[in-house]
Amino acid sequence: MRERYSENQSTKSRLIVISIIVLLLTACVAPYSAPVSDRAQPPSRKLDNPKIHRVGHGETLYSIAWRYGIDYRALAQRNHIARPYTIYPNQALKLDVGNAPAVQAPRTAATSSSAAKPKTTTVKPPSTVKPKPKVVKAPPTVARRSENKTPVKPKSTPPASSGAVPAWRWPTTGNVLSTFQGNNGLNKGVDIGGNLGQPVLAAASGQVVYAGSGLRGYGKLLIIKHNDIYLSAYAHNQNIRVQEKELVKAGQRIADMGSSGTDRVKLHFEIRREGKPVDPMKYLPKR
């Protein structure tokens, strides 16, 4: 019995060894294939130089032009939008304003065919009948106006300058935290520190053309149009005290300082000239 048991154990051991050898040989011969994922990465969106912008709710032509750093007039001309620059949600706006058609001068009226032809005149022979002399009547006497009276000129308002530099003033009090870093820099204006709820004032007279929080990184934002050339912006407000299309005066309280869209209480102030950021410190009066 013991001999038979030992033989069975020996047979089992041999079978186990043979199985291990077979497995090892199979692993060496069979090629190893790593798992492959066939899922392609989504295409990257070119946000640096987009060509089309879809209008979202609450956006204005001015805020879209501000977002991309272009002149609102060029954006309107490129998309054939007339004053007062009304746009609609989901409207596609072309942003390649460099290809905007130039403003054409008014064409002169075409010359008619009859005017183009030279006129022919027939010379009649002189008449033998003598013409009767004409009697020239004296003009009727006209009562003279009093020499002391001066003629009244019609009232006319002088045309407002479309590009005059506004009389800028500081939009709030406080220390300047950071200054302008250039057209392509991160800071396209100046940051002014202050307290929560501190008054934010209009830096010059103008019209509110945007009031909202649709521009990323600006928080609650106000944009004021001062004339056809200059616009200003006031960002990170706690509260906005004016509405779009409202006329404001220089020094009027338009918002309360806050920290919306940023990590501390401050006012971010920008000036744009023809859509391009400029250094506000070159325009604001020295303290």
User: Is the residue at 195 inside a domain?
Assistant: yes
**Average pLDDT of every residue of the chain:** 76
pLDDT-based confidence at residue 172 (cuts at 50, 70, 90): very high
Question: Looking at 33, 68, 97, which one is the last position of a domain?
Answer: 97
Average pLDDT over residues 163-177: 95
User: Is the residue at 19 inside a domain?
Assistant: no
pTM for this predicted structure: 0.63
User: Is the residue at 277 inside a domain?
Assistant: yes
User: Is the residue at 205 inside a domain?
Assistant: yes
Alpha-carbon gap, residue 248 to 233, rounded angstroms:
13
Span 173-224, pLDDT tens digits: 999 999 998 777 788 999 999 999 999 999 999 999 999 999 999 999 999 9
**Residue 38 confidence (pLDDT):** 31
Range of the domain at 216: 176-282
The separation between the first and the last C-alpha atoms of the chain, rounded to the nearest angstrom, is 113
**Residue 16 confidence (pLDDT):** 72
CATH of the domain at 210: 2.70.70.10
User: Is the residue at 215 inside a domain?
Assistant: yes
pLDDT-based confidence at residue 53 (cuts at 50, 70, 90): very high
Backbone angles phi, psi at 25, to 5 degrees: -65, -40
- Kindly tell me if the per-residue pLDDT of 31 is higher than 90: no
Which carries the bigger pLDDT value, residue 266 or residue 127?
Answer: 266
Question: Looking at 79, 97, 115, which one is the last position of a domain?
Answer: 97
Alpha-carbon gap, residue 114 to 27, rounded angstroms:
102
Question: Looking at 80, 97, 114, which one is the last position of a domain?
Answer: 97
Average pLDDT over residues 258-278: 96
The total number of structural domains in the chain stands at 2
- Kindly tell me if the per-residue pLDDT of 147 is higher than 70: no
Look at residue 192 and give its three-state secondary structure: strand
User: Is the residue at 46 inside a domain?
Assistant: no
User: Is the residue at 35 inside a domain?
Assistant: no
Rounded to the nearest angstrom, the gap between the alpha carbon of residue 181 and the centroid of all alpha carbons in its chain is 20
User: Is the residue at 26 inside a domain?
Assistant: no
Range from 99-103, 157-161, 214-218 that averages highest in pLDDT: 214-218
